[in-house]
Amino acid sequence: MRETSLQADNRAIEGLPIRLVIALVVGVASLAVMMNVISGLNTFGTTELDTSPEPEIIEEETTQVNVTVLDPDGQPISNATVVAKSDTAMLDSTSYAKTDGDGVATLTLDPELRPNQGEGTIALDIRPPDGDYADKQENTGILVIDP
């Protein structure tokens, strides 16, 4: 067998494996950045809204609840529609109201719990006003308790 030095070895490119690893890492990182930019384009400039019900906890009886629609900075949003739906507590029908100039919608709710159910929730959805608003995340709901 013949011994040769690395300098005289011309059968392969020295350093290829590390260059390949670096190219793959840079390529994957670039792809991740591009995918993040592409997935963020459809929500670019939209503001997520949330609800703040008062009171947050009610009993099984007809109750008026004032729901404030807020942006992420805590500022009230007017002309949004708040929809109350049955979740683990039952409502006879869906209730809805539009927010006033102060961002407050007043809902009249008559929730019921199932037999042997100590508590339940009413889900609140927001139909945003025209503009750059969205409601894709879960909102603060209303807790219904058995008196």
pLDDT tens-place string over residues 109-145: 989 998 888 899 999 988 888 777 777 888 888 899 9
Domains of the chain: 47-145 (2.60.40.10)
Q: Containing H/E element for 16?
A: helix 16-40
Residue whose entry in the numeric block shows the structure tokens 């390529």: 27
- pLDDT for the residue 104: 93
The Cα-based distances of 33 to 17, 22, 39, 71, 127 in angstroms read 25, 17, 10, 28, 32
Q: Which of 86, 147, 143 is nearest to 120 (CA)?
A: 143
| Residue 83 and residue 96 in contact, taking contact as beta carbons nearer than 8 Å | yes
Q: Are strands 47-48 and 133-134 parallel, antiparallel or unpaired?
A: parallel
The Cα-based distances of 130 to 42, 51, 76, 139 in angstroms read 16, 17, 15, 19
| Residue 84 and residue 122 in contact, taking contact as beta carbons nearer than 8 Å | yes
For residue 39, name the pLDDT band (cuts at 50, 70, 90).
low
pLDDT tens-place string over residues 55-110: 898 988 888 999 999 888 888 888 989 999 988 889 888 899 999 989 899 999 98
- pLDDT for the residue 37: 76
